[in-house]
Structure formats: structure tokens, C-alpha cells
């Protein structure tokens, strides 16, 4: 018998996975290099034989502490994102009151909100509960609060909650600077910053929204964003009731 056998295999997902891994490694390396280079440069200056400047020493030590904290944040966020992507994070789901959850979060952020002169309006039923991982959900909305505080100074944050078709619909809106339409498809990407300089100044790892998206999806929900430059941003979250 003469002939041949042809085997065809679609390797698209494999190739895409390898590309994402390579990009992730490159992005992570870039993010880690910045604080490491800063720390290394300051230590080299401090260790010079002719260095004798107490004021500069104090400033460098303070900056080294800031950069060290930033490194720790990046590493912690990298580990969490990796676990979430691999479905290795166990959700500790409990039943809790959603309005009380937001009231507590607003109270935790009261100082930053006051300093940034931001008003918070909460529209959420007081007699209903949700089943979710309280700690992880806190991470999501803490990140959204931090973003709004950074970009909506002197403005307002509005949180609307309603339930339909066995899903909680949560809208987290601010009337801050907003984002350009070209930016929106990338906001949930790892290490993406709409405003590079401000992200670094605030000690952001660039992973906050990527982690938030992974946490919401781990709950079987979804998160989307709408934004208009000069009018603000609206994050739309759906969670099982």
C-alpha cells in the first residue's frame, strides 16, 4: 500500500500563549528594572569615599524606601496575577450586605477622599446581600477608588447598585479627566497605564485593573469600562446575586 497521512493541528492558541508569556516577561522585566536602577544608583553615590552630605543621604534613604515598597508591590501583584490566571486562587465566599461593604470602603478612604475634595454618592439597597469573596472584592473596589481619587480631584464618585436577572449590576462612576477612546481597549492589560508618569508617581504596578478583571471573572462576573475625555469614567461590573 502506497500513500501518505497528513496530520493538521491548529497551534494558534499555543503560539498566542507563547507570545503573551514573552510579552509578560518583557513587561515585568521593564517594570522591575526602573526601581532597581534607581536604588542601585543612589547606593553607588552613598558608598563613594568622598560622599559627605547628610541632607542628600536622608533624601536618598527616603527614596530607597519608596522604591523598595514599589518593588514589593510589583512582585506581590505579579504573583497574584499569575495565580489568578492559572485559577490557583481559592475564593473564600461569604454572604454579606453590599451596602455595608461600600459604606466600610468609603469610611476607609475618607482621608484620601477629603484631601482630594471628592464627594461620594452611594445608591445601593440596604436590605440585600451578595455571596462573594469579601477580601478580593475589596481589592477590586479599592483599586477603582484609588484610580478615581488620582484622576477626579475636586469631583464626584457615584456608585449605583441594582439587581436584574439574578445578577448584581454595579456602576462605579467618576466625573474626572476621563480616558481617550483609543485607550479603552487596553485598560485591563497587564502593566498598561493610560498616564505613564502619574502611574509611576502614585506607586502603581500597572497591574491593578488586570487583577480586578481576573478577580471579577473568577467570581463568574464581568467588568467593562466606558469613558469620555473631560467627562469621566464608568466601570460596569456584573456579579451573580
Question: Where does the pLDDT of residue 7 fall: very low under 50, low under 70, confident under 90, or very high at 90 and above?
Answer: confident
Please, are residues 67 and 38 in contact by the beta-carbon 8 Å criterion?
Answer: yes
Mean pLDDT to the nearest integer, 55-71: 90
Given a cut of 90, whether residue 80 has pLDDT beyond it is: no
Query: 145-172 pLDDT, tens per residue?
Result: 998 998 888 899 999 999 887 888 999 9
Residue scoring higher pLDDT (77 or 140) = 140
Instruction: Give the three cell numbers for residue 144.
Output: 477603582
Lowest mean pLDDT among 38-42, 182-186, 200-204: 200-204
CB 143 within 8 A of CB 211: yes
Average pLDDT for 4-23: 75
Q: What is each CA distance from 90 to 127, 133, 135, 171, 215, in whole angstroms? A: 28, 9, 12, 26, 11
Position 81 pLDDT exceeds 80 = no
Q: pLDDT grade, residue 197 (50/70/90)?
A: very low
Decide which of 66 and 25 is more confident. 66
> With 0-12 CB in 10 A as exposed, 13-18 as middle and 19+ as buried, what is 132?
buried
| Cα–Cα distance measured from residue 59 to residue 63, given in angstroms and rounded to the nearest whole number | 6
| pLDDT exceeds cutoff 90 at 189 | no
Residues 36 and 16: their CA atoms lie apart, in Å, by: 30
Q: Is 172 exposed, middle or buried (0-12, 13-18, 19+ CB in 10 A)?
A: buried
Cell 497605564 -> residue: 193
Look up residue 228 and give its three cell numbers: 469620555
Q: Identify the DSSP state of 2.
A: -
How confident is residue 122, by pLDDT bands cut at 50, 70 and 90?
very high
Task: Give the model's pLDDT for residue 107.
Answer: 94
Whether the per-residue pLDDT at 174 is higher than 70: the answer is yes
Q: Taking all residues of the chain, what is their mean pLDDT, rounded to a whole number?
A: 85
Q: Is the pTM of this model over 0.75?
A: no
Amino acid at each position: 500500500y502506497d500513500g501518505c497521512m497528513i496530520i493538521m493541528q491548529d497551534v494558534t492558541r499555543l503560539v498566542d500563549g507563547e507570545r503573551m508569556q514573552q510579552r509578560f516577561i518583557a513587561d515585568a522585566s521593564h517594570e522591575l528594572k526602573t526601581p532597581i536602577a534607581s536604588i542601585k544608583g543612589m547606593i553607588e553615590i552613598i558608598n563613594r569615599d568622598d560622599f559627605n552630605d547628610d541632607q542628600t543621604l536622608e533624601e536618598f534613604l527616603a527614596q530607597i524606601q519608596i522604591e523598595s515598597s514599589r518593588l514589593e508591590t510589583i512582585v506581590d501583584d505579579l504573583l497574584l496575577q499569575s495565580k489568578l490566571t492559572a485559577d490557583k486562587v481559592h475564593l473564600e465566599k461569604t454572604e454579606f450586605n453590599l451596602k455595608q461593604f461600600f459604606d466600610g470602603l468609603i469610611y476607609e478612604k475618607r482621608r484620601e477622599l477629603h484631601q482630594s475634595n471628592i464627594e461620594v454618592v452611594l445608591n445601593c439597597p440596604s436590605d440585600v446581600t451578595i455571596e462573594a469573596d469579601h477580601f478580593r472584592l475589596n481589592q477590586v473596589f479599592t483599586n477603582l477608588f484609588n484610580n478615581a481619587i488620582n484622576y477626579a480631584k475636586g469631583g464626584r464618585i457615584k456608585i449605583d447598585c441594582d439587581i436584574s436577572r439574578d445578577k448584581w449590576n454595579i456602576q462605579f462612576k467618576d466625573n474626572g479627566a476621563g480616558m481617550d477612546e483609543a485607550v479603552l481597549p487596553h485598560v485591563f492589560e497587564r502593566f498598561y497605564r493610560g498616564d505613564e508618569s502619574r502611574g509611576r508617581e502614585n506607586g502603581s504596578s500597572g497591574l491593578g485593573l488586570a487583577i480586578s478583571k481576573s478577580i471579577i471573572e473568577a467570581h463568574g462576573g464581568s467588568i467593562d469600562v466606558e469613558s469620555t475625555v473631560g467627562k469621566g469614567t464608568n466601570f460596569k461590573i456584573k456579579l451573580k446575586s
